[in-house]
Every structure is written in structure tokens, then in C-alpha cells.
Structure 1
């Protein structure tokens, strides 16, 4: 729950972060799966036991369906689109509805209904492994990756996938809740590590882009200062003024008096034809400055 709380806070700070939103949905679905499968069925809850059981399996199948979608997005495997859209509906939701819910409602035999309901999802999982292999081959052909990145992607992808595929098999042979939860949560933790790695990579890339922009802006300011014929001292002062430093701090940093700073600033404004700091900043950060 602590993880959910922090993920929600981070997402609210940056609602445009689609990756975090997708992971947040996965986190919520896994939490709901763990709660419902651990809580239901319970004779003390004023809900029919059959309905409790169906709800528990609904969240299990729902989590599996979303896992497929998240897996597709997390590893950017575009070749899995059919498996993610139509495949999950046909081979996960339909079996749940017609091979689990209907037989269970009619016969009340949970063990037999459970076996019927997971056969097709298991076969779908096997097919999904093959499709994933082809998708990775295509992905690596389409774009160059280092051997280390390839290894990390493939290992993490298949560990998470095998955990997911193993669930129908476990359910088929019995009601092993502890094992089911362990396998499910192991797969989730792998996907969490993939998400963390992706977030770190994205943060580093954004930081590098920010540094590039800062360096580019600094070069632009330096060029524009030259176009306005500012001296080296005036350029220094202009940079500090643009950063919002008061005259006192500028004087202290450069080892000169405030009066000297004020005189330089007056000269800067005169050369740049600026009447205030905002106008000065706009002119020195402007591209393709034409000085007449």
C-alpha cells in the first residue's frame, strides 16, 4: 500500500507520465487480486459464496488480461498487438465467462469449473511465449541494442512471462493459494524492476537533454553578448543578472563595488537597448539576433 501511495503522489505531480499511469494500474490490479483471492470466499461476509468466488476469479483473470497489455507496452513489442487486444478477450475473458462462470453457476463444482476455465488461457500463454520470441527478434532487427541490453530485456521479459503462464497450470492442479500468490507477485516484482530501470533511463535522458539545452542557451547568450559588443566583464555581469542575482551578490562574486556593478548594468542596458531585466533576458536569449 505504501508503494501505491507514493506512485499516486508521483503521478499527480506529473500526470502526463503515461508509463507511470500504466504501472499504477498494474499495481492496483495486483493489489486487488491479492485482496480478493485472499479474502474470498468467506462465510462471514454477507455475500453469496458463489458470487465471492466468481469475483475473486474475475480479478485474477482481469489482472492477467491487463498484464498482457502492460507487458506489451513495457517492452514495446508492437508485434504482440493482436495477442494483447483480440487475443486477451478471446482466450482469457471468453474462457472465464463461458468455461468457468457458466459451468460453476450451473453445477456448483468449483474444482471442475476451474480446470475448464484455465485450459485455453494456458494454451494462449504458450502461444504468447512463441509470439514474444518473434516480437523480440523483430525488435532487435528494427533497432540496434547492445548485447547487455538484449540480455537484460530478454531475461526479465521471460521471467515475468513464465510466472504469468505458470498460473493456469497451478490452478489446474489445485487450489494452491500461497503458490499462486508467490508466482503472481514474483512476476509483478520483475515488471516493477523493469519499470524502475526504464524510469531511471528516462530520467537520465531527460537530464542529458536539459544539460544540452542549458549549454546551448549559454552559448547563445555568449554569442548575443558579442553581437551587442559587451565586454567580458559586462558579459559576466549580464549572466549573473539574468540568473536573478542582486547587485550586492554580483559585486561580492566579482570582487567589485555595487556602484561599479550598477555602472556596468547601465552600459549593458544601453548597448542592448533594454529598459528592464525581462527585456534584457529576452534579447540575450533570442535566436538570430540582428544588431543595427
Structure 2
């Protein structure tokens, strides 16, 4: 299409992703209680992936030919790492050991790109050899991440349907990203590769829609919390530290009189993680403990 290598399916996904991100931006702008900054960044990365992977390489590109591949592989690498970061920060799903933190993954990914892609290309001047030397080991690492993630979320026997849907969709999202280097090894089938990768973003989008419906169900309680901010006239610096969406979920569960253990089971997170979120909630709402928090906001709800 357009005299470039972009396939019509890639262009179609580009339009869909752009529409979703624009819609989410205006929704977030008009709704202070539903901050979507991380989701917007993730969406932009998928848009850039569709743009660079779809339109590049082109013949009249200003600069070395290899630079186009550096751009496309770099965007894909950043997108994949940020997806892991997003799932960890937004849903508290921890599936990596202490040595494989998000920062370490970023470092390993960068070193792999320079050592397994750019260096072989420098030695052989062959894009195909460089692609194989980079994507084969990265494929194995990605499949390990997928196995670790699956093992983490499949060990729980809890039956909270919302959390189960979230974990299954997160698994689907991670699986699609993990298959990206595998699909690159198989061949340049743009329609297949970009379909699989964009399913990853659509899965995260479904999770966010599900989360939004959860907030609608607890609209009165959330309104009570934010009314407290307005009534007490906190300064702008404090307002920038409003409850995150995860903290809102935990706060609604606390108002439902659930114990930290029950909340942890509902969201497939450790009780200590719930306690940490609760401490942040109490600090941001100027309450000393869950009793004061529950009393204050349950009264406001009435």
C-alpha cells in the first residue's frame, strides 16, 4: 500500500490502535478518577510498532539501510519490555525472579541487540544472518518468560471471575509478544506477525474495559473518596498523588469489609502487597488505619 511494504492488515490495525488511543486520551482527560497514562504510552508504542514495522524498510530512506532495522527492532524491543512493566505495575503480577527485574531485562535486551544483531551484521553485512543470530536466542528467552508467567498464574485455585479474566487476558497478551521473535524467525509474513502482536494490545484493552466496568459498579464509593479531596481543598501538589487505579480497586474492596487476605485472593496478589497498597491509600486520604478509612467513606456514601 502507498508504494511501501505495508500490508493492508497492518494499516487496518494501525487505524484501530490510533482510534483506541485517541478515545482513551479524551476519556482520561475528562475523568480524573481514571488515569490512563501508562495505557496511553503502551498504545502509542503499538502504534509506532505498526508504523515502523509496516512502512520500513523503504528505498529512499535518508541514512544507512541498517538504520531502518535498528528503528524497527528497537521499537519492538521497547514495546515488549514496556508491556511486561505495564502488567507488573498495573496488575501486580510478578513472575520474574530477583535477577530478572524490568531494568535488568532492558539492559539484557540492549546488550543482545548490539551483540547478537548489530555485531553479526557488521561482520557479515547480511540482514538475514543478523536476524537469525538475534531472534533465535531471544525467542528462547521469550518462551521462558511465557512459561514463567503461565506457571505463576496457573497455580492459584481462587475463583474470582474478574481476576481470572484479567490473568487469562494478561497471559494471552504476554504470549503474543513472546511469539514475536519466533514469528520473525519463521519468515516475513507481515499479516500474521502484526495480527498476533496487535492481539496483545487488544487483550490489554479488554482488561481496561473490564476494570472500567468495575469502577462503574463502585461509582458511589469512588465519588466519596474524591469528594473528600475537594471538600478538604488539598493543594495541587497533593492532587497529583491521587489514588491509582489499582489503589482504587483495593480501596473499594476495603469498603466492602474484606480482609487483606481475601483481597489478595481476589486479585491474585500477596497479602503484603495489599497491605502496602492500603498504607498508600490511608496516607493519601489522611486516615490512620482501615477503621478510620471505612468509617469516613462509608458515611460519605450514605
Same fold (TM over 0.5): yes
**What is the correspondence of 1:38-187 to structure 2 with a 5 Å cutoff?**
38-80=54-96, 82=98, 83-136=100-153, 140=156, 145-187=158-200
User: Closer, same or farther in 2 for the Cα pair 1:43/1:200, shift >3 Å?
Assistant: same
Note the aligned Cα RMSD (angstroms). 2.8
Distance 1:204 1:188 in 2: 25
Q: Give the helix-richer structure, 1 or 2.
A: 1
Measured after TM superposition, the shift of residue 50 of structure 1 is: 1.4
Query: Which secondary structure state, in structure 2, belongs to the residue aligned with residue 194 of structure 1?
Result: helix
Aligned with 2:203 (options 173, 190, 193): 190
Query: Which secondary structure state, in structure 2, belongs to the residue aligned with residue 80 of structure 1?
Result: coil
Distance 1:65 1:189 in 2: 17
**Structure number with bigger Rg:** 1
Report if the CA contact (8 A) 2:139-2:181 is conserved: yes
Distance 2:128 2:104 in 1: 25
Report if the CA contact (8 A) 2:116-2:134 is conserved: yes
Distance 2:43 2:21 in 1: 7
Report if the CA contact (8 A) 1:65-1:88 is conserved: yes
Report if the CA contact (8 A) 1:68-1:88 is conserved: no
User: Closer, same or farther in 2 for the Cα pair 1:58/1:43, shift >3 Å?
Assistant: same
Report if the CA contact (8 A) 2:121-2:130 is conserved: yes
Gaps of 5+ in 1: 215-292
Query: Which secondary structure state, in structure 1, belongs to the residue aligned with residue 58 of structure 2?
Result: coil
Alignment-derived partner of residue 5 in structure 1: 22
Measured after TM superposition, the shift of residue 155 of structure 1 is: 2.4
Aligned with 1:28 (options 23, 38, 44): 44
Report if the CA contact (8 A) 1:91-1:120 is conserved: no
State which drifts further: 40-49 or 27-36. Answer: 40-49
User: Closer, same or farther in 2 for the Cα pair 1:108/1:204, shift >3 Å?
Assistant: farther
User: Closer, same or farther in 2 for the Cα pair 1:105/1:197, shift >3 Å?
Assistant: farther
User: Closer, same or farther in 2 for the Cα pair 1:52/1:16, shift >3 Å?
Assistant: farther
Gaps of 5+ in 2: 1-17, 228-302
Which consecutive aligned stretches of 4+ in structure 1 deviate over 6 angstroms post-superposition?
A: 211-214
Q: What do residues 16-71 of structure 1 show as CA deviations (whole Å, max 9, x unaligned)?
A: 755x1111011000000100011111012323321112111111111111111112
Distance 2:96 2:133 in 1: 26
Measured after TM superposition, the shift of residue 115 of structure 1 is: 1.2
TM-score by length of 1: 0.63
Alignment-derived partner of residue 231 in structure 2: none
TM-score by length of 2: 0.61
Query: Which secondary structure state, in structure 1, belongs to the residue aligned with residue 61 of structure 2?
Result: coil
Query: Which secondary structure state, in structure 1, belongs to the residue aligned with residue 218 of structure 2?
Result: helix
